[in-house]
Amino acid sequence: MIVLAACVVLLAAGLPLIARLRALDEDAAAGRRTVATLLGATGTRVAYSTLVVLAYAVLPLAWAVGAIPTGALAPYLSAPLAFRLGDVVSHRSGAALGPALREGAVLVVLFAALYAAGSALLPS
């Protein structure tokens, strides 16, 4: 369960980054100090990508040391969504990131659901 929690926290931590990246120009013009204004667009995109990659990288490491069952690798079925979302976050800005925020939330839920289902179906 700790592995799932860590992965979900990593993915969920990316959602505010997408939101702040979407509002980066307005925040900068208003003088707001947000993570995105401090890191800049590129830094925020790198931070988001790093969180997503870490969430997926934890799974095989935990499986290799026997901390999770084989079925807990099922979240890799959500990888196409993560790749598409990463592409959108990397290449769009402003209002065009609105759908990315929704897809990011879907990714978090899908990841957790696949983990739970996979662990239940293949518990060892």
Instruction: Read off the pLDDT of residues 23-44 as tens digits, 9 standing for 90 and up.
Output: 999 999 999 999 999 999 999 9
Contact 106, 95 (CB under 8 A): no
What's the CATH architecture for 2-121? Up-down Bundle (1.20)
Helix, strand, coil % (nearest 5) of the chain?
85, 0, 15
Contact 35, 51 (CB under 8 A): no
> Which pTM value belongs to this model?
0.93
Alpha-carbon dihedral angle through residues 31, 38, 21, 60, given to the nearest 10 degrees:
-160
Residue 78 reports pLDDT greater than 80: yes
Q: Share the mean pLDDT of the chain.
A: 96
pLDDT at 40: 96
Residue 1 reports pLDDT greater than 90: no
CA distance 76 to 118: 10
